[in-house]
Amino acid sequence: MDVNLDTLEAQAVVVGAGPVGLSLAIELGLRGHDVVVFEQRSRTGSQPRAKTTNVRTMQHMRRWGVAEALRAAAPLPGDYPTDVVFAITLFGHRLALIENAFEGAKRRDERFPEPAQWVPQYTVEAVLRERLSRLPNVRFHLDALFEDAVETEGGVVATARDLKSDHTFTVRADYLVGADGARSGVRKLIGAKMEGEHAFAHHYNLILRIPELERSPPSPRAIMYWLINPQSPAVMSPLDRNGVWAFGTSLAPGVREIDDEELRRRVHAAVGRPIEFEIIERDIWAAHRLIADRYRLGRMFLVGDACHLHPPFGGYGMNLGIADGVDLGWKLSAVLQNWGGEGLLASYEQERRPVHLRTIAEAIQNFRTLSADLLMENLEDDTVAGKRARAAVGDEIVAKK
């Protein structure tokens, strides 16, 4: 429900309505708590950001009653293979195939009740927002810029500004949680610092509409195509059945922009031939290896990208943040229901930080082997030497990826 711009009362304020903030609000709302959510942006756009909703997150979706809704909303058909293909070009020599990546095949598996789902983050957010709208005790305010919070005896007073009316309003709550991403205002407020390595590599993401790939898609079908050639090492992924694809390429050290002519050359080289396409959206992003020196100050907490950042390879980011929200959510609920204590709240950082460190290390390891790192001489040659080179790279891919 929308928020009336008055002084509000709640048990929790959540700053940020990406998948992490939405998940935390749903977790608290389903446990019967009054929640106010602030989000300053419309969160529209074509960039998929996260694309893998893993088996553990799908278990939470099932518990929240939206697993089937998410599968129904996913743009690719339910029987679409969840494989990853490694090839020289999109239609060229295949080097390796990883089947059922992320355990996304729609089949019964005794290890977990829900398989993973390949689905853009914007679709995940839409499904979670719809679920949130059916919780009368959760009030959602879009176009609300979080400005400040002060801890008082027994609570927190948060202030936000409505960006449409320029009206400032306050919320009195028991707890406040910053799910407000890499540039977290809540993190700055509590004085937490990100430690690690900033922007150690830059990448360029395009969202493309390629009609020819709708009519004549590459074979075999896959959720990702790692393209390994010296002209354009890249990763391409289908996003829906209307010829919309994601295209990712790395930038050379010191390069922050490439012109459309160079982008066109790279796309053609990755596909393996000239092809007509439309650029729907473009985005330059930097890889980080960062973790906050603390996740909490009194009654204010951090979750998701507000307290940990790492390269996206491996599909960990959104899922890791949602797990933060679930963990903190049930612990806050326990305290609000008077059966949990201070030690339980302290356990949030104690338990999650080692998971974050381990996952960041895994993401960095995955990031060390990108398409350009798998190049080898003679790889494209239709010769005995070329066949041997392709076999060697295929073995390396299986070992490292």
pLDDT score at 315: 86
pLDDT of 3 over the 60 cut? no
pLDDT score at 199: 80
Q: Which string of b and e fits 121-154 if b means at least 16 CB within 10 Å?
A: bbbbbbbbbebbeebebbbbbbebbbeebeeeee
pLDDT tens, position by position, 176-225: 999 999 999 999 999 999 999 988 888 999 999 999 999 999 999 999 99
Tokens found for residue 304: 């998701």
Mean pLDDT, to the nearest integer, of 308-328? 94
Tokens found for residue 257: 């922009």
pLDDT tier, 331 (very low <50, low <70, confident <90, very high otherwise): very high
pLDDT tier, 276 (very low <50, low <70, confident <90, very high otherwise): very high
pLDDT tens, position by position, 145-175: 999 999 999 999 999 999 999 999 999 999 9
| Ranges of H-type helices in 104-221 | 121-133, 185-190, 211-215
* Domain regions of the chain by residue span: 8-75+119-193+293-365, 197-287+376-400
Domain 197-287+376-400 grouped into CATH 3.90.1150.10 = no
pLDDT score at 48: 80
Tokens found for residue 128: 């979670």
Rounded to an integer, what distance in angstroms lies between the CA atom of residue 286 and that of residue 309? 11
pLDDT of 261 over the 50 cut? yes
pLDDT score at 6: 63
Rounded to an integer, what distance in angstroms lies between the CA atom of residue 280 and that of residue 301? 37
CATH topology of domain 8-75+119-193+293-365: FAD/NAD(P)-binding domain (3.50.50)
SS3 324: helix
Higher pLDDT, 78 or 5: 78
pLDDT of 5 over the 70 cut? no
Tokens found for residue 18: 């990406």
pLDDT of 140 over the 60 cut? yes
The pLDDT mean for the chain works out to: 94
DSSP 258-289: --HHHHHHHHHHHHTS----EEEEEEEEEEEE
Whole-structure pTM value: 0.94
pLDDT of 74 over the 90 cut? yes
pLDDT tens, position by position, 218-255: 999 999 999 999 999 999 999 998 899 999 999 888 88
Count other C-beta atoms under 10 Å from residue 343's C-beta: 8
Mean pLDDT, to the nearest integer, of 103-113? 90
> Which residue in this structure is represented by tokens 């204590």?
341
User: Is 78 in contact with 90 (CB distance < 8 Å)?
Assistant: no
pLDDT of 2 over the 70 cut? no
347 vs 4, 179, 232, CA distance in Å? 35, 18, 46
DSSP 370-400: -GGGG--TTTT-SSHHHHHHHHHHHHHHHHH
pLDDT score at 201: 83
Higher pLDDT, 201 or 387: 387
